[in-house]
A and B are shown apart, each in its own frame.
Chain A
């Protein structure tokens, strides 16, 4: 907590902005308002500057900010944007490098800092970050009969899965009595991307130099592993192409799967009337040959170049990071600073913060490409190959080789 306060103070003072505005307007997605509401109230109390939130649907943040920037004037002094839009807005937002003091940098996972940097400019301050971690049924894992049977069958102790092999073994082991070991998400590719990093790839889809690496060994190896429970082990429901995050979550909550990989915040939101309430354990994302690796899902506070109250906005951005832990009491319960998460460690209900920090700071953790064409790359190159792989028929290497060609065409 002390570290948090000192970091906060330094960041706030280092901002060194003077702000004369009476109010600032923030464009944000639904959940994001809740995460920043408490800090906004405290900010108003201390500075007298009112903070008004404009809440829009997820895609609305992109559409509305794009339209405002295109019009040359903005009603918003700050926008809280998803990391996947950083590249799109980089040329239209202020450089916040001054807010990234050494203390601020030291308090953030490296992957979040990297995602904030576009063409050498720090374009946004992380406001909260999430990552997929492992959720499992504690009651099943702690059951003495299961432990004995698992040890007999696989030759090692039953513990939360930490490696690819353990994941497959445990998924197979718990596929019994009408339950599946886990599920395969065939509607989203991010989970597979995390495995790509765990396999030692220098990035996903493209490397830092912009070269397409979609068909490198790590991508192939990770996709083989990702579809193995579906295509080889039969330890998951066979309708992978109908399963997205929501469906995977519900299968787990309804007791139909023994474990899942899911965004960490969900641990706090386990429905009380679900079959698994009070029985959910969490562990860091799996490790491959490169160690633990995850795809971070951070959101950034950016100041549009067209904003009217830039100084007050910068003051709020610094203040919000300095008091980042205040968002944890919101329903989503997320923050970005290490110190914010650490300040809640050990408290009941926040068991997921340890695995989340381990994942965000994992040696193989890295953000998705900060590229304007990222979404097109995913939609046009990645998803067709990824979903074809879920049919369990085609050769993964060949599918990814074709996808790499499509990706290269998009980037050309």
Chain B
């Protein structure tokens, strides 16, 4: 009885701690939401109020009432999806080969991918600008997708390499013995097993592109401009339009939240992938 009681107390404490942790993470986002629902005159009250006195959708109407933000949202979505797809297409087979057919050069390859993550993005801004200008890809979705892919691929490669490490080489060997070609073994046997890993890599690639600011600022003007740039425009030299900015930020966070919820099972699977080995 005492053991059960102690176990229950322990569970309650763990849950309370988990709740506290979740609240501490969620609080800024909830405050963002509350601010977006305040009328213009109440957005910046002194002293600040957490909850709106009256709920107003005027900030949402403001941001959705212009053509700029919806267009930028669409651009962000297209760029993020294409970047994710391209990154996975390049990174998944590369990571598989680099981990399953280990040679000095594949180790160097992964090391090089790691090094590219250490290069500050700003230092690549001007070279990328020149490159895309030469190719006539400035202010185009294609140009921005290529730029984003250049940062998303190393991340995807490293993530996928970590996931492939947990796959026994014998799995491919067994498939080969059953008559699969190397590619068939990869496509039909290995990839389905890696579903969780691919999901989590896709999510990170998507978020990398979705939130990216610097390249979008330097490499686009009007046609391919993404939402982070438009949201930042609410911060002008004469002040910050908190209402529209928070409303835009809430809207902009929704796709990532939805994708995370949809892929929840795979993500959790991915995070615990290889955690329990026999």
Which residues of A are at the interface with B, using a C-beta cutoff of 8 A? 25, 29-31, 52-58, 60, 63-64, 67-68, 70-73, 75, 82, 130, 237, 245-247, 249-251, 253-254, 256, 263, 265-266, 271, 273-274, 297, 332
Contact = CB atoms under 8 A, between A and B. Distances in A.
A53 B225 CA distance: 13
A265 B238 contact: yes
Given A75-B138, A246-B239, A237 B46 contact: yes
A233 to B, nearest CB: 19
Nearest to B133: A73
17 contacts: A30-B236, A52-B222, A53-B222, A54-B221, A56-B233, A58-B236, A58-B237, A63-B214, A67-B129, A71-B130, A73-B133, A75-B138, A246-B239, A250-B44, A254-B41, A254-B45, A256-B46
Contacts of A25: 221
Contacts of A245: 238-239
A253 B221 contact: no
Which 5 pairs show the lowest CB-CB distances between chains A and B? A57-B232, A54-B221, A250-B44, A30-B233, A246-B239
Contact of B45 (A31, A56, A250, A297): A250
Interface in B129-175: 129-130, 133, 138-139
Contact of B41 (A29, A30, A246, A274): A274
Interface residues of B, number: 29
Given A237-B46, A246-B240, A254-B41, A64 B218 contact: yes
Contacts of A52: 221-222
A289 B44 CA distance: 36
A271 B239 CA distance: 15
B129 A71 contact: yes
Contacts of B126: 67, 70-71
Contact of A332 (B46, B133, B234, B238): B238
Contact of B40 (A30, A130, A256, A271): A271
Nearest to B139: A75
Contacts of B239: 245-246, 249
Contacts of A82: 237
A75 B232 contact: no
Contact of B229 (A57, A73, A273): A57
Interface string B108-139: 00000000000000000110011001000011
Contacts of B236: 29-31, 57-58
Contacts of B40: 271, 273
Contacts of B233: 29-30, 55-57
A160 B130 CA distance: 56
A75 B237 contact: no
Nearest to A257: B46
A72 B129 CA distance: 10
Contacts of A63: 214, 217-218
A396 B19 CA distance: 48
B44 A247 contact: yes
A63 B39 CA distance: 33
B61 interface: no
